[in-house]
């Protein structure tokens, strides 16, 4: 593999090992990373606003599909390891490339912390039902480190776990998105807005929370070096995986909000399980749903643990991250990045648990990762706009209007996701907690940037538009 993430497609084809991902596994990686436990905990997080957040989810879905189209177009031009990092670096140079790499890396390991916290809320349907904080933390640590060990064991095991868990979680959502619609009571959609805020503010706040459920539309682009025929399979897997996810997301949320009143959802730790219990009575159906969500969470953590290490590996190959992140173990995985990222996720989770309950910790981490994800998303959109206008000035290029509109929509949504990432209705520190945590984590990157400044290689020329 070339030391630069901006290598041409042919270079990546030659470097993709025989255990790389084909189209099916790439789709599973996309869907498995998007569908974690975020969607299964989302109704509780959105309940402070009410059913009006179904509009939020609809708009977030539009933004997610725009981002999917954006990354599909960018990956056709530059199927490079690192995805959003590679695009921002090639378009705007090493300083902004580092800032985006650091921000995306925060998204990956802090997002893992959030997934693990949400995962435990379903595990505690069976054990630690009293939600003892000490045991909750121990369970989260199990959720973080079990997928880390799977990743350390090699790429073949990562792919196998991803396919199996993705099938199970998609079946669970598809069930709620179809059967659940027959159990809706329209009375549960009122009151429509319970936040006490304006409709615009409530919808915007809901969008910031809902974004977490769509994080992952870019993961095939980030792991381009692991995908066979990347310039063909990355765009296809990105669009197909995101579309399939969007359909079951919207329908299943409509069902859950229609099955349970907002007041019940607000106090639920396992809203999908509670909804299934309401549908069939008793607790057996909810227990089945909880088991599926637990398996789903392991799959999401498995995929995101890989991404936690793949993006820093790409940055290390360019000299932007310490060289340890670029070292490959005998199992052909970046073991240092896996261990460091999982350790940071563990620390972030423990710090958040010190003063809050599981649901509050989950929402705070969700909003934090929304901020740090929206930054590289926005710069990827700016990179596309820069390149497409330059292309258009040099020659007439196909799909110009489509690509510009998609990039502009992606940029607008990225800004909105940051703007609304406040934990409304809470005390000052919790209200601004997502920004304080994100800001602190971003500042910690400055010493690393200074340390690596003299080791950074220059970005290679951007490939011609195809």
pLDDT for 408: 95
Q: What is the mean pLDDT of each run of 10 residues along the chain (466 residues)?
A: 34 40 69 73 86 90 85 78 82 92 90 85 86 89 90 76 76 87 90 86 84 71 61 73 83 91 86 90 85 83 83 88 90 90 90 68 78 92 92 73 91 86 70 85 92 88 74
Q: Provide the 8-state DSSP code for 392.
A: H
Cα–Cα distance between 416 and 12 in angstroms, integer?
35
Q: What is the DSSP letter of 316?
A: H
CATH topology of domain 9-455: Amino acid/polyamine transporter I (1.20.1740)
Q: What is the pTM of this model?
A: 0.79
CA 445 centroid distance within chain:
21
Res 167: pLDDT? 79
Residue ranges per structural domain of the chain? 9-455
pLDDT at 281: 84
**DSSP SS3 for 93:** coil
- CB-CB neighbours of 250 under 10 Å: 16
Tokens read off for 206: 């809901």
Burial code (b: 16+ CB inside 10 Å, e: under 16) for 45-82 equals bbbbbbbbbbbbbbbbbebbbbbbbbbbbbbbbbbbbb
């Amino acid at each position: 593999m070339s030391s630069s993430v901006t290598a041409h497609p042919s270079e990546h084809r030659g470097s993709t090992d025989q255990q790389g991902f084909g189209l099916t596994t790439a789709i599973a990686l996309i869907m498995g990373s998007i569908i974690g436990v975020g969607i299964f905990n989302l109704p509780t997080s959105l309940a402070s606003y009410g059913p009006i957040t179904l509009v939020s989810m609809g708009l977030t879905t539009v933004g997610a599909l725009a981002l999917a189209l954006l990354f599909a177009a960018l990956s056709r031009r530059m199927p490079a390891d690192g995805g959003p990092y590679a695009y921002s670096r090639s378009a705007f140079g090493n300083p902004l490339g580092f800032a985006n790499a650091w921000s995306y890396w925060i998204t990956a390991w802090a997002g893992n912390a959030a997934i693990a916290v949400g995962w435990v809320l379903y595990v505690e349907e069976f054990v630690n039902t009293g939600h003892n904080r000490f045991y909750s933390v121990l369970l989260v640590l199990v959720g973080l480190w079990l997928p880390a060990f799977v990743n350390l064991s090699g790429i073949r095991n990562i792919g196998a776990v991803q396919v199996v868990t993705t099938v199970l979680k998609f079946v669970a959502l598809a069930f709620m998105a179809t059967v659940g619609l027959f159990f809706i009571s329209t009375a549960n959609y009122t009151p429509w807005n319970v936040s006490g805020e304006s409709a615009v503010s409530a919808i915007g706040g809901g969008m910031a929370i809902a974004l977490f459920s769509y994080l992952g539309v870019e993961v095939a682009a980030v792991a381009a070096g692991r995908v066979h025929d990347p310039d063909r399979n990355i765009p296809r897997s990105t669009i197909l995986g995101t579309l399939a996810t969007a359909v079951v997301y919207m329908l299943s949320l409509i069902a859950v909000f229609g099955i349970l009143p907002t007041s019940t959802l607000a106090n639920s730790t396992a809203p999908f399980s509670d909804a299934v219990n309401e549908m069939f009575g008793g607790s057996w159906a909810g227990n089945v749903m909880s088991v599926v969500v637990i398996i789903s969470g392991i799959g999401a953590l498995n995929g995101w643990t890989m991404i936690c290490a793949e993006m820093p590996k790409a940055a290390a190959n360019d000299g932007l991250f310490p060289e340890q992140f670029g070292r490959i173990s005998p199992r052909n995985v970046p073991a240092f990045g896996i261990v460091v990222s999982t350790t940071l996720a563990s620390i972030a989770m423990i710090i958040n648990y010190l003063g809050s309950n599981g649901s509050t910790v989950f929402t705070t981490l969700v909003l934090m990762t929304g901020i740090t994800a929206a930054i590289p998303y926005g710069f990827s959109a700016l990179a596309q706009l820069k390149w497409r206008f330059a292309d258009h000035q040099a020659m007439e290029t196909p799909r110009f209007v489509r690509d510009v509109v998609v990039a502009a929509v992606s940029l607008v949504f990225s800004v909105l996701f940051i703007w609304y990432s406040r934990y409304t209705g809470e005390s000052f520190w919790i209200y601004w907690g997502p920004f304080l945590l994100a800001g602190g984590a971003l500042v910690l990157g400055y010493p690393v940037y200074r340390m690596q400044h003299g080791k950074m290689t220059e970005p290679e020329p951007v490939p011609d538009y195809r």
